[in-house]
Amino acid sequence: MPQPPLHSVASPPPLLHRDRNESRVNSLQFHSLSEDDTQRLGLALGRSASPGTVVALYGEMGSGKTRFVRAVVEGLDGSPTDVSSPTFVLLQQYSARLPVHHADAYRLTSETEFLDLGPEEWLTGPGVVLIEWADRISNCLPDDRVDVSITSTGETSRRFAFTAAGPMSRRLLEHLHDT
């Protein structure tokens, strides 16, 4: 059975914010009413990702960051069952259409600890980087990235706020918006 278009994930439809001087998409918001909606949103992001995509994830414990990452990995033709929260390992890598690097900064006590993981190699490489608890390492994040804030609005409903920070991430949001 065909899935409804992505924009039906949002209720109301996704809010599109454009800079007055640009025709590019700078931010999108979606309201996911269920885990299936979250799954479709993550799949769409994964399918839209290109080499060098960096996604910084923000949200409280239990907001669905790892669940969203599973869907993104599946959208990249990887195995969602390989994905687990890297809280204790700090960095997981998955095989997919593009290499996936999944970091979790929750347990880090400093940005130096993050830098000790060697992020310069994978933050500038040809893969896709997904970072949970990105607010803990904000000074280490690349300028061109997609910030995704996830807010619980109910037991299974979530608000996703995507913000592009750079030209490549704007193209990703444009593609996501047009999906």
Q: What percent of the chain has pLDDT over 70?
A: 84
The mean-pLDDT minimum among 33-37, 91-95, 140-144 falls in 91-95
Contact 152, 158 (CB under 8 A): yes
Q: Which helix (H) or strand (E) holds 108?
A: none
Encode pLDDT of 71-121 as tens digits.
999 999 998 888 877 566 788 889 899 999 998 888 888 888 888 888 888
Encode pLDDT of 41-69 as tens digits.
999 999 999 999 999 999 998 888 989 99
Q: Are strands 158-165 and 145-152 parallel, antiparallel or unpaired?
A: antiparallel
pTM (whole model) above 0.85: no
Of 51, 42, 19, 78, the closest CA to residue 158 belongs to 42
- More confidently predicted of 177 and 20: 177
pLDDT at 111: 85
For residue 60, how many other CB atoms are within 10 A of its CB? 10
Of 67, 74, 69, the closest CA to residue 152 belongs to 67
> What are the domain boundaries of the chain?
35-178
pLDDT at 86: 59
- The CATH number of the structural domain formed by 35-178 is 3.40.50.300
Contact 93, 99 (CB under 8 A): yes
